[in-house]
Structure 1
Amino acid sequence: MDDMTDDRDMPAPGDMAEPLRRALGERYLTYALSTITDRALPDARDGLKPVHRRILYTMRNLRLEPTGPFRKCAKITGEVMGNYHPHGDQAIYDALARLAQDFNMRYPLVDGQGNFGNIDGDNPAAARYTEARATAAAMALMEGLNEDAVDFRPNYDGSESEPVVLPAAFPNLLANGSSGIAVGMATNIPPHNIDELVAACLHLIKAPNAREETLMEIIPGPDFPTGGVIVESREAIAEAYRTGRGSMRVRAKWEVEELGRGQWQIVVTEIPFQVQKSKLIEKIAELVTARKVPILGDVRDESAEDVRLILEPKSRSVDPQVLMETLFRQSDLESRFSLNMNVLIDGRTPKVCSLKEVLRAFLDHRREVLLRRSRHRLGKIDARLEVLEGYIIAFLNLDRVIEIIRTEDEPKPVMMAEFGLSDVQAEAILNMRLRSLRKLEEMELRRERDALTAERADIVALLDDEGMQWDRIADQLRDVRKQFGKQAPGGARRTLFADAPAVEDVPLEAMIEREPITVVCSQMGWVRAMKGHIALDSDLKFKDGDGPRFIFHAETTDRILLFGSNGRFYTIAGSNLPGGRGMGEPVRLMVDLPNEAEIVSLMIHRPGAKVIVASSAGDGFVVPEDEVVAQTRAGKQVLNVKDGVRAIACKRVAGDHVASVGQNRKMLVFPLAELPEMTRGKGVRLQKVPFGAAPLDASASGLSDVTTFTLADGLSWKDPAGRTRTETDLADWIGKRAGAGRMAPRGFPRDNRFNG
């Protein structure tokens, strides 16, 4: 039995045993390298990934030239997938469609006919509906493929051959940019202007050791197809180009359009690169709805083929610069483009390159292409000259040649022996047409031989002289500049440069139109803002079973502080309060006040002021108002309360003494200086009151209210008849903090509250 078990554990013949760690590591490394070199990173020489290169090569084979007819994208996609790229047809079509999108490609390589998507983020139509052909830029990338300019390799099944890299007449990597995510690395290269790129290449040819700063003077930064304004500092851009990594801020281009009678609107004509216009408008609309930019009234899209976004201010008094700076911070009207020039520098090795290194890789590639094309042409010339020499010998001995052909059974070896011809020359003579035996043809042959001889001499001189090679490359680049440079249609720079204006952070209050309001909050917590300052004793309507609780005058620029019985402060913008036409809205919809917590106080925030807070356990302290302002709906915990304890008072500090009263109607007065100033905590004992003991009457347990006052002016409260009563002789109640106090004066309110 044991023997059988051992046999089953032994590997079968042909199987290979290896540790799982090594097996997984080697296979994952193979996958990672494949992703890096064959999918995600572009080649520094032609700026293309394999799928893009195969798409262009297939279109060339289908003769889809710029002046030729269009073909269905489904046909192109099928050819690419069947011959060179055995991946999903949708992935191939997406790559093809992107090459045709003028809002993604600075110099589109595909001329599309039909719906290829738009700047709003809509997807292209299906491949069966759209048609395409190559552009002049794409043909410039493939110029010289028939002249042995680059290496070819077998396709995935060995039935076809494909170029390893394209000859690339211009630096496409920088001209159109690239992006991709591989395994453990990524690339993100912005588009640039060809005119500037060619100028930089010409400078590098003259001065191979040129400094990065000099190249920056020629190429100041990216040139996005969607335009926009780069507001990054020159130093930051230079550092990004020097290291190959960095980022730069791109803003929308805008202008103020006058509407007459003092009215105006902002028109956005260009948006940042790779920002979807529809999502941008949705985001701005959300800002308007949420009143996060109160000085913005409305946004609408009037775009046709161009971009035209309209931003309407809330009022004519708004500063356009302040409005736009606010939107730049809170929306994609300003975006940050992260530059990461991680490329395959020689087609195999990924490397983060500087601007100079990328241009140098392109120029070295162009020199290799020039040498290969020159050697290919030299071979063609030598072959043609050999044939021409044979033709000329035949013309000089035409009668004898004709005689040999007519009389000899095997004329070829006889001719080769008699005239010293090569096999190629003899074969060419035998295949010559009778009509070519004219005298004029001999003159043409001699003229062609002389021209080819002179061309051959030039090529030999070119191959022997590196200076001549770089001059020839410079001439080719100048031709590219004429075809695609700033003088060509669409060749002028689109992205501008500017310094971001030094606009200080504008507080929310400064963006709100200042208007008087009356804040009304009911006993059940329904809050509203009546327009204007109405009389505080006005007869207002409330829901059945509800009544008034807080009412005070404020302005839309004010921040309203709400103090809950859970000891938390909440902040509500006056401009965000619902209008006063109805009953308002529950305040719990605006802030996260728990259902079991009650509203203790509602007041206007006064910067620099202080408030006193107290709990039912008799503890409290003074806190600066600036420390209680909350930035979120969740509020800010200030007074710590345990189970069974609740916050019962929040009063603005005014005076030099504190008065507190318990549920047992005992009152204590002590100097305000005895109370500490804190930002958060339980506080210190204000007054010793019965609290928490089971036998006690709940109505007589705990602290009831607290207030501050000036001792010289006396302590005031309203009696049951509504008259204000002031007690100036408080000697009987003055004591030390944490004392028990004495029974309140006669006429003190029965609810044990100071009503102050």
Structure 2
Amino acid sequence: MGKELLPPGGGDDSAAPVDLRKALEERYLAYALSTIMHRALPDVRDGLKPVHRRIMHTMRLLRLSPDQGFAKCARIVGDVMGKFHPHGDQSIYDALVRLAQPFAMRYPLVDGQGNFGNIDGDNAAAMRYTEARMTEVAAELLTGITEDAVDFRTTYNEEDEEPIVLPGAFPNLLCNGSSGIAVGMATSIPPHNAAEVCDAALALIDDPETPVSRLLDFVKGPDFPTGGIMVESAAAIREAYETGRGGFRVRARWEKEDQGRGTWNAVVTEIPYGIQKSRLIEKIAELIIARKLPLLEDVRDESAEDIRVVLVPKSRTVEPELLMESLFRLTDLETRFPLNMNVLSRGKVPGVLSLKQVLREWLDHRRDVLLRRSRHRLAEIERRLEILAGYLVAYLNIDEVIRIIREEDEPKPVMIARFELTDTQAEAILNMRLRALRKLEEFEIRKEFDKLSEEKTQIEGLLASTAKQWKTVRWEVAKVRETFDPEKNPALGRRRTTFGEAPAHDLEDVQQAMIEREPVTIVLSEKGWLRAMKGHLSDLSSLTFKEGDALKLAFHAQTTDKILLFTTGGKFYTLGADRLPGGRGHGEPVRIMVDMENDQAIVTAFAHDPERRLLLASHAGNGFIVAEKDVVANTRKGRQVMNVKAPDEAKLCIPVTGDHVAIVGLNRKLLVFPLAEVPEMARGKGVRLQRYRDGGVSDLKTFAMEAGLSWQDSADRTFTRSREELTEWLGNRAAAGRMAPKGFPRTGKFG
């Protein structure tokens, strides 16, 4: 072992004290920097991460041009890993596969042959079976790389060189998008339409002060390879592109397919970007089994090359839009694609850029590439002109040149001295072939000399004029735009993601559509325990309650109903029948479900009917009518409808029917008056319904005078009194009334 390889201390076990915090900071910073710069974030200029750039560079070295044959992916991956990217072969192959997938890349950079996976999420075949070459788009990214267009750096083992960035004639960052998670930052850029991006770039060249709002006249929004419909507002799209942060709601494209005889199916033909079709269908099937999609009967995947997912409704009466709206809410048929344009600016500084800044940096890069290629070409022309000038000297003095070559031992220095040639010219003359001494060759050389001189003048003019440089860049961008013109090349250039507005369906309708409609019996105990028994029960005698508790009320409802609770404090609470605890056990206390005051009790509960009106009355005899649709509460806190102050409390809540009100007090005095005398209010204390010296209201009833007032006694016998028989009890609202007629129940209730 060499002495220089020995550790300090001559190889003895020795340890040097290190500040742990400082060591961790250094190591973590190094890791973070490596992840940000060399793994997760794309370069704004060519839109590629290092692994993708190395794949492209390797394919160029293997001469896998679009017009050449394919090579095994294992060969490509091996070269990438061995020469440029010392990481796992599987991660390199995964990156290569993604570049070839038409559902992942808007403009694929790799032309794959074999199984490269599918939109169902199935993996590609092993790399030894698949083959690949570059696409025309990849060739555009590499144009000029051999002409000193970009800088190179040494590879990880310093045996080779790799490009720091590609020339990038194609606006790859925006057109193909990118996503990645670094340390403390992430990037998420959706794909865009190439023709639109080029139009925006041309507008920015024409007027560098063009605002983002104007650029959005060209770049309407993302253009996903899987299509779909974007339902984001124009204001949100503008803000996202101005700040570089935001998101876009994307929905599946669907159509109603008539099946004849009034039946129909909904057929999904495009799904949101990045969603695996098989997983999406599994999720829908799970929701059907869990009865979360009551409007949907079945889902079928009839896809071949194109996507075709068939959704079968429960019945022909189902509204298609409502069915799809419930699916959009519960499944990935609607997703939100985030926008976070966090990229490496100038290849060095990570930052979130706006649409304008991204285009600006790409155009500046294109100008740098143009200048570097022009200087490279100029140097080549100058070298060639130097050689051609030497050839012309040789032709003018051909006999002397032949004599020197034949007679001199060292012809080169003699020729340089005799004809004032440069070393390069002399070497070129000595390397000439005899057949090049034809008279015609002299004419060809003069022609080439004149042509190159003219090109040299043009390049020097270009390098001297910024306006000419931008004019050339504009021409290059316009040429790329022509390749992806939607009119000339609709298959590649036509926009796939369209824009639409989400149908404005009532939130209530959609929520109802997500609940399986089933009959239930709502049971409320005296102590406020609530439950929903399956089915419409007719015999309630078998119900059990906690010790000391008993049945307060029970009524039939559907799982799609809202249950309204009215309390002594004058508040209404709303609960979904589908959310109530089941019939096993004794249910749950209402106070767990809503924020009810401890000193209040439940007056009544019933299924909500938005068409009904309710007559509310307090113990003291005040009351008013309220529309049932106005008492629904959207929060746990409920809605205060009747204002009552202790010791008074809300006592009665009955549905309004007919045209008269009958009210009886605890003093057994009965009063009948027209319903029209009771005002309709949304909230308040109400008006006096009956006057009492002491006590309060016992019961209340609304009825149609034409049918008469009826009540039931304790023996369940029904008594009915007509208008003539009720004459002495008829009066005005707020009167005291008279003692109830003979036969009126002792309970003081109408039954």
Same fold per TM (> 0.5)? Answer: yes
Superposed displacement of residue 21, structure 1: 1.1
1:89-121 deviation line (CA, Å, top 9, x unaligned): 111111111101111100000111111111111
Amino acid paired to 2:78 = G
Q: Which amino acid aligns with 1:302?
A: E
Q: Is the 8 A contact 1:150 1:163 kept in 2?
A: yes
Structure 1 residue 44: Cα displacement:
0.1
Higher mean Cα deviation, 474-483 or 458-467?
Answer: 474-483
1:161 paired to 2:161: yes
Asked if 1:498 corresponds to 2:500, the answer is yes
Distance 1:560 1:611, change over 3 A: farther
| 1:299 partnered with 2:260 | no
Rounded Cα–Cα distance in structure 1 between residues aligned with 2:329 and 2:433: 79
Cα distance change on mapping 1:341 and 1:404 into 2, 3 Å: same
CA 1:267–1:425: 2 relative to 1, 3 Å:
same
C-alpha change, 1:117 and 1:413, in structure 2 (3 Å) is same
Measure how far apart 1:317 and its partner are.
1.9
Deviation at 1:510, TM superposition (A): 5.7
1:386-435 deviation line (CA, Å, top 9, x unaligned) = 11111111111111111111111111111111111111111111110111
Q: CA deviation at 1:297?
A: 1.9
For residue 216 of structure 2, give the secondary structure of its aligned residue in structure 1. Answer: helix
TM-score by length of 1: 0.74
**Which range moved further: 105-114 or 316-325?**
316-325
Partner of 1:195: 195
Q: Map 1:429-508; keep pairs closer than 5 Å.
A: 429-486=429-486, 487-488=488-489, 489-507=491-509
1:398 corresponds to: 398
Local SS of the residue matching 2:235? helix
Report the more deviating stretch, 284-293 or 11-20: 11-20
What is the TM-score with the length of structure 2 in the denominator?
Answer: 0.74
Structure 1 position 624, deviation (Å): 5.2
SS at 2:453 equivalent: helix
- Residues 638-668 of structure 1: CA distance to partner in whole angstroms, max 9, x if unpaired? 1689xxxxxxx9976999999xxxxxxxxxx
Q: Name 2:373's counterpart in structure 1.
A: 373
Q: Which residue of 1 aligns with 2:641?
A: none
Deviation at 1:288, TM superposition (A): 2.1
Tell me which of 595, 598, 603 is aligned to 2:555.
603
- The reply on whether 1:561 has 2:522 as its aligned counterpart is yes
Which residue pairs with 1:631 in the alignment? 579
**Quick one: which amino acid aligns to residue 25 of structure 1?**
E
Q: Confirm or deny: 8 A CA contact 2:562 2:577 kept in the other structure.
A: no
CA distance in 1, matches of 2:350, 2:445: 52
2:247 maps to 247
| Residue 342 (structure 1) aligns with | 342
| Alignment match, 2:281 | 281
The AA in structure 2 aligned to 1:136 is: E
Q: CA deviation at 1:139?
A: 0.8
Change (3 A) 1:623 1:420: closer
Structure 1 residues 512, 377: closer, same or farther in 2, change over 3 A? Answer: closer
Secondary structure of the equivalent of 1:269?
strand
Deviations 1:651-709 (A, max 9, x none): 76999999xxxxxxxxxxxxxx989569xxxxxxxxxxxxxxxxxxxxxxxxxxxxx97
Shift of 1:330: 1.5
Distance 1:283 1:601, change over 3 A: farther
Q: Is the 8 A contact 2:232 2:501 kept in 1?
A: yes
What amino acid is the match of 1:196? E
Note if contact 2:521-2:555 (Cα within 8 Å) is conserved in structure 1.
Answer: yes
SS across alignment from 1:31: helix
Q: Aligned partner of 1:133: which letter? A: R
Closer/same/farther in 2, CA of residues 325 and 336 from structure 1, 3 Å limit: same
Give aligned pairs, total.
611
* Residues 505 and 409 of structure 1, relative CA distance in 2, 3 Å threshold: same
Contact 1:256 1:320 in 2 (8 A): yes
What is the deviation of 1:484? 2.7
Q: Which amino acid aligns with 1:631?
A: R
- How far 1:184 moved relative to its partner? 0.3
Question: 2:710–2:718: 8 Å Cα contact kept in structure 1?
Answer: no
Contact 1:629–1:636, Cα closer than 8 Å, also in 2: no
1:480-559 aligned at under 5 Å gives the runs 480-486=480-486, 487-488=488-489, 489-507=491-509, 511=513, 556=517
Amino acid at match of 2:57: Y
Distance 1:578 1:121, change over 3 A: farther
1:89 match: 89
**How many Å apart are 1:513 and its aligned residue?**
12
Q: CA RMSD in A?
A: 4.0
Alignment of 1:95-174 (within 5 A): 95-174=95-174
Partner of 2:740: none
Per-residue CA deviation, residues 173-226 of structure 1 (Å, 9 max, x unaligned), is 001000000000000000001101111111111101111111011111011000
Contact 2:230/2:497 (8 A) holds in 1: yes
Q: Tell me, in whole angstroms, the C-alpha distance in 1 between the residues paired with 2:514 and 2:248.
A: 32
Give the deviation of 1:260 after TM superposition: 2.1
Where structure 1 has 5 or more consecutive residues not aligned to the other structure, the ranges are 1-8, 515-555, 580-586, 613-619, 642-648, 659-672, 679-707, 727-753
Question: Does structure 2 retain, via aligned residues, the 8 Å contact 1:630–1:636?
Answer: no
- Paired residues of 2:326 and 2:513 also in contact (CA < 8 A): no
**Contact 2:54/2:85, CA 8 A, preserved across alignment:** yes
The residue number in structure 2 matching 1:49 is 49
Give the distance between the partners of 1:676 and 1:628, measured in 2 at CA: 26
Specify the SS of the correspondent of 2:522.
strand
Task: Specify whether residues 261 and 630 from structure 1 end up closer, same or farther in structure 2 by C-alpha distance, changes over 3 A only.
Answer: closer
Deviations 1:31-88 (A, max 9, x none): 1111100000000000000000001101111111112111111111111111000011
- How far did 1:717 drift? 5.4
Q: 2:98 aligns to what SS in structure 1? A: helix
Distance 1:325 1:600, change over 3 A: same
Amino acid at match of 1:197: V
Q: Which residue of structure 1 lines up, in the alignment, with residue 62 of structure 2?
A: 62
Counterpart Cα distance in 1 of 2:210 and 2:66: 37
**Greater Cα shift, 74-83 or 623-632:** 623-632
The 3-state SS of whatever aligns with 2:153 is strand
Aligned to 1:179, the other structure's residue is in SS state strand
Question: Structure 1: how far apart are the matches of 2:75 and 2:163?
Answer: 21
Cα distance in 2 between the residues matched to 1:626 and 1:293: 23
| Cα deviation digits, residues 449-490 of structure 1 (max 9, x gap) | 111100001000000001111111111112111223322232
Per-residue CA deviations over 1:490-533 (Å, capped at 9, x if unaligned) read: 2111110112222111437964999xxxxxxxxxxxxxxxxxxx
Q: 2: distance between equivalents of 1:179 and 1:334?
A: 20
**Correspondence for 1:214:** 214
Query: Relative to structure 1, is the Cα distance of residues 360 and 599 closer, same or farther in structure 2, using a 3 angstrom cutoff?
Result: farther
Q: CA deviation at 1:18?
A: 3.9
Give the aligned partner of residue 738 of structure 2.
Answer: none
Task: Summarize the Cα distance change of 1:656–1:676 in structure 2 as closer, same or farther, 3 Å threshold.
Answer: closer
Check conservation: 1:46, 1:166, Cα contact below 8 A: yes
Deviates more, 1:627-636 or 1:237-246: 627-636
1:352 corresponds to: 352
Partner of 1:364: 364
Give the Cα separation in 1 of the matches to 2:536 and 2:389: 99
Structure 1 residues 438 and 276, CA gap change in structure 2 (3 angstroms) = same
Residues in 2 aligned to 1:675 and 1:560: alpha-carbon distance in whole angstroms = 32
Amino acid at match of 1:220: K
Describe the superposition over 1:262-313 as per-residue Cα deviations: whole angstroms up to 9, x where unpaired: 2221111111111111111112222222222222222111110111111122
Structure 2: distance between partners of 1:657 and 1:398: 127
Cα distance change, pair 562–447 in 1 and its aligned pair in 2 (3 A): farther
Instruction: Tell me, in whole angstroms, the C-alpha distance in 1 between the residues paired with 2:434 and 2:550.
Output: 114
Whole-Å separation in 2 of the counterparts to 1:93 and 1:628:
52
